[in-house]
Amino acid sequence: MKRFAITAITAISLAALTSSGAFAQGKTRAEVYQELQELESVGYDPSMGDGGNSYPDDIQAAEAKVAARHQAERSAALGLSQTRQTTPTP
């Protein structure tokens, strides 16, 4: 019986670890912190919790803004690199 309890506790512990979003995605603490800073830079406030009854809409909106920002940055970088390639050098 004791062995069964230890096995069950171990299985539950492993399940909890692997179900963690950051762990499952293989992200470091620094990467998660960077993502949080990006979300906060577009207006997301994690301290609001579910008090405003807007979760998960608020974080999804912030994620969309961050994705749009990244897309704009990629497009700008791509546009600059294409302009440089097509401009003839004297």
Cα→Cα distances 27→40, 84, 86, Å = 19, 35, 38
- pLDDT attached to residue 69: 96
Q: Band of the pLDDT at 8, cuts 50, 70, 90?
A: low
Helix 57-86 and helix 29-41, axial crossing angle in degrees, nearest 10: 90
Q: Is the peptide bond before 88 cis (omega within 30 degrees of 0)?
A: no
Rounded to whole angstroms, how far apart are CA atoms 72 and 81?
14
* Predicted confidence (pLDDT) per residue in 25-68, tens digit: 899 999 999 999 999 999 999 888 766 678 889 999 999 999 99
